[in-house]
Structure 1
Amino acid sequence: MRYGAKMKLKYAVIALAALCASVQANTQQERLDKLNGKALGRVIYRGVTLIDGTAAAPRAHMALIVKDDRIEAVLPATQLTAQQAEGARVVDASGQYVLPGLIDSHVHYATNPDRPYAEAELKRNIYGGVTGVRDMAGDARELAGLSRDALLNRIPSPDVFYASLVAGPSFFKDPRTVVAALGTQPGTVPWLYAVDDKTELPLAVAQARGTGATGMKIYANLPGTLVRKLIAEAKAQHFPVWTHMQVYPASPYDSLGATSVSHVCMIARHVREAGKSAYGHSGEPSYEGLNAEDPGIQRYIAALAKSGTIMDATLSVYKSDGPHCHIGLAGDITRAMHKAGIKIIAGTDTDNTGEDPFPVVDHELEKLVKYAGFTPQEAIIAATANAAEALGKQREFGTLEVGKYANMVFLRQDPLQDIANLRSVVLTVKRGHEFARADYKFVPLPVHED
């Protein structure tokens, strides 16, 4: 064999070996992707009206191309090319509306851990258009398991993002903490951790992060100086920090600078009961005659707007009667905050009835429209783009853009005409995985007690 022929054969063998190695690597990567629960393949959703999670006007006759778990392209359907369609599964979504998957920014699925109930709630959510939930503290062991199984697509569920909680030592007599720390001592575990002026705060925040939590929740019975230090330390570690608007004895002003604060009516209670020193729901003051124009409320709204902190209004917890802050006042304050440019997120902090086949976050959005004067589009932004920002995940989802996860919900009817049309769900897509509403066989949920 001549030298030239030998070299050609050598290069051919090298090329074949490289090709085999490449095929093997691709096969191994595909196996790994499947093991990780990653959606694979290209899908084109064609002919849909796009509501992208921003203030932009809806765009009709659009196409979204999804490659594996990400959005590859967003373009007018008429501009689709044969090359783009080659090898893709094409879904005709003509006449439908698509928006980012909804996020319920305030749930509690493991205060009193009940895995079957949590899975039933999560299943109802994902088939109802919810692709993410923010669990605001419970047993992190249970939440980590739910979060993992949701991420690996082992259960039909939104992605589960959860908090590790810190509070003053006296709070951990609360029976809820005992249940959420069974087998351990509440106040000594990293997801339910007692802090005081002797605590090494960098370590406390690092421990919270080590649970797999997305953020740290500051809850109760802490002085203002310590609340401010915790917020500063969490931010230094690039860890979202979520608080009650008022932690007690700290004031609402001590929580400014947190990523988000919860419960809009806490400012009303602060105005009417400024001397309250410990967390608790009993003995609420009268709110008669109080509205958002009160100077004390206006002063706080101005400070909140300046801080950039997001408001988790939780209108669902306020009722139209009873001794507590009522829904009219809660809506009035939320309206004033929204007008001041404060970002609002849609958290429910309540379970839906067992008989309702749709997610409770739908009702929160209806309340934002009815009581706080939001347009349907603004309410949708509260449950999508703003919610993703509160999680620190705005680069990953919350709007329908190229490069972000394919988290979206398809509706038969226009939600911008009537926010109740969120219940016209046809299909939910989470990280490229499809959950067709027609496949959901609703069974009333059992009674669950926290």
Structure 2
Amino acid sequence: MHKILIVFIFAAFFSAPVFSQIKFSDETKKYIEYNDSINVFKNALLIDGKGNDTKPHQTIIISNGKIIWIGDDTKASIPKGAKTIDLNGKTLMPGLVMLHEHMYISAPSMETRQFFMHQLPLTFPRLYLAAGATTIRTAGNIEPYADLNLKKDIETGKVPGPSIEATAPYMDGNQSPFQQLNKLDKPENAINFVNYWADQGFTSFKGYMFLDKLTLKAAIDAVHKRKLKITAHLCSVTYREAAEMGIDQLEHGFLASTDFVTDKKENQCPPNADEIFAKLNVQSDSVRSFLKFLIDKKTIITSTLAVFEGFTTTQPAPSAELLSYFSPDSRDFYLNLFARLKSAKAPSDYDKAFANNAKMEKMFYEMGGLLTVGTDPTGNGGTIAGFGNWRAIELLVEADGFTPLEAIKIATQNGSIALGFDKTIGTIEIGKSADLLIIDGDPSKNISDLRKVQFVFKNGVGYNSKKLFESVKGKVGFN
């Protein structure tokens, strides 16, 4: 009876030559390999995104962009004429759900030593999608209308890219040195800010380093009144203070925490937080109590190891492949800073802080906290979309000590839970969106096999990863 029902479902959908109602532009069509109403993947090594062991010889059937059947190859009923893709043992896993992404790159001024960001509306959306990120949260922007218009262009098929959960412009305080950010100096300004940008279409918000307690609390309450979510990169306010206010999420693992600075002044960002964090005994009762407090408050933590690795003396040298994607000026800036950091003779306080953060992320997860992962393509200029996604997930294994399957769960299911999208994306289950990656390897054994992604399916439409990558070579930094 079950097989008969499945065949009936197939028949109902099979009359349409393609499932997608989106009218893709000619440019987007260049990268689409599959756009059929029904696709059947057979002989797949299945990673479901929930942390379960892999399953070989699996068939997954998608119809009209949704997963409608999963099971052993021998039990599958394949409809006549359906598009069948024999994976020959390749991995099929959920698309990545990455929660600290941006559409800009670091562009500091070496003359004035000020920090600027440069929007990359062409290269970054393609790199995210090519690497397997089917859903991203932008976690702050410096060109709000550019982000909103990009989101719309992707949704309408005009340009290729991931599904975007758009975060409003940063909310920072008067002490902020960043010229491109809005500086909010009192609670009523935060409330007006939230309501304005929510009306424009942004669905998440982000507090920044120099926001004071009263203004952050007003922002949190205003966001929640709109039934939206808010995260923060803190410094002037501690994690404990923000969690007490009811903030949904905190960024950068624990490297942005100033909770352990004993002489910290209220509403001020201490200059020695990294040094103190480097000397922290992460196995102490105070640290465990701190983590338990955050977990009890249901505060989500986003790991962003890739961007912080770029300031350690132990970071690996960039590959020739990575460098081939940079424009000349962006590449030179990155390589100059990389050489200065690598010239250090001994481990720095930052190296020790990085290691402590990795230990605390693992402790937080094992104690029951919800850990997610993101890229943050800023920092030393070498962490970019796509490649940075992969490195952030690899470091969950290399630095934090997670198993590959745990790291994949953090980068898929956990991200979807944090966004409130876990009913539709994040795992391979019947009824969910067909956001899937085909990988010529087994990342459950070697996490770096994530770099072998061949096709990225978003809502059942299959994009050629290699073609997307090739389209932006030498352009990161230009646009």
Verify same fold: TM over 0.5.
yes
Q: Is 1:398 equivalent to 2:430 in the alignment?
A: no
Closer, same or farther: CA 162–247 of 1 in aligned 2, 3 Å: farther
Check the 8 A contact 1:291/1:332 in 2, yes or no. Answer: no
Closer, same or farther: CA 283–303 of 1 in aligned 2, 3 Å: closer
Q: Report how many residues are paired.
A: 404
Deviation at 1:49, TM superposition (A): 1.6
Q: How many Å separate the matches in 1 of 2:24 and 2:157?
A: 10
**Residues 41-440 of structure 1 correspond to what in structure 2 (within 5 A)?**
41-82=37-78, 85-110=79-104, 117-138=120-141, 139-165=143-169, 167=171, 169-170=173-174, 174-177=178-181, 186=182, 194=184, 196-199=186-189, 201=191, 204-244=193-233, 246-248=234-236, 250-256=237-243, 257-266=246-255, 269-272=258-261, 274-277=263-266, 282-284=271-273, 286-287=275-276, 288-319=278-309, 320-321=312-313, 322-324=348-350, 326-350=353-377, 359-440=387-468
Deviation at 1:377, TM superposition (A): 0.8
RMSD: 3.3
Q: How many Å separate the matches in 2 of 1:436 and 1:281?
A: 47
The aligned residue for residue 444 of structure 1 is: 473
CA deviation digits over 1:251-299, x for unaligned, max 9?
Answer: 2112213221112234654303551455668554523532312344222
Deviation at 1:406, TM superposition (A): 1.0
SS at match of 2:174: helix
CA deviation digits over 1:28-54, x for unaligned, max 9?
Answer: x98964379995511111111211110
Q: How many Å separate the matches in 2 of 1:266 and 1:446?
A: 31
Q: How many Å separate the matches in 2 of 1:124 and 1:354?
A: 14
CA deviation digits over 1:56-108, x for unaligned, max 9?
Answer: 222221112111222222222222225xx134211111211111111221122
Gaps of 5+ in 2: 1-14, 106-115, 314-347
Gaps of 5+ in 1: 1-25, 178-185, 188-193
SS at match of 2:187: coil
Deviation at 1:247, TM superposition (A): 4.9
- 2:303 partner amino acid: A
Check the 8 A contact 2:124/2:385 in 1, yes or no. Answer: no
4+ residue runs over 6 A deviation: 35-38, 352-357
Check the 8 A contact 1:264/1:330 in 2, yes or no. Answer: yes
Q: How many Å separate the matches in 1 of 2:384 and 2:83?
A: 33
Deviation at 1:348, TM superposition (A): 1.8
Closer, same or farther: CA 63–339 of 1 in aligned 2, 3 Å: same
Deviation at 1:230, TM superposition (A): 3.2
Deviation at 1:145, TM superposition (A): 1.6
Closer, same or farther: CA 435–251 of 1 in aligned 2, 3 Å: same
Q: How many Å separate the matches in 2 of 1:285 and 1:110?
A: 25
Check the 8 A contact 1:345/1:386 in 2, yes or no. Answer: yes
TM-score by length of 1: 0.79
Q: How many Å separate the matches in 2 of 1:279 and 1:119?
A: 38
Work out which structure has the larger RCO, using CA pairs closer than 8 Å and 6 or more positions apart in sequence.
Answer: 2
CA deviation digits over 1:225-260, x for unaligned, max 9?
Answer: 44344334423432111122x352x32112213221
Closer, same or farther: CA 205–425 of 1 in aligned 2, 3 Å: same
SS at match of 2:93: strand
- 1:134 partner amino acid: R
- 2:155 partner amino acid: L
Q: How many Å separate the matches in 1 of 2:260 and 2:303?
A: 17
Closer, same or farther: CA 140–171 of 1 in aligned 2, 3 Å: farther
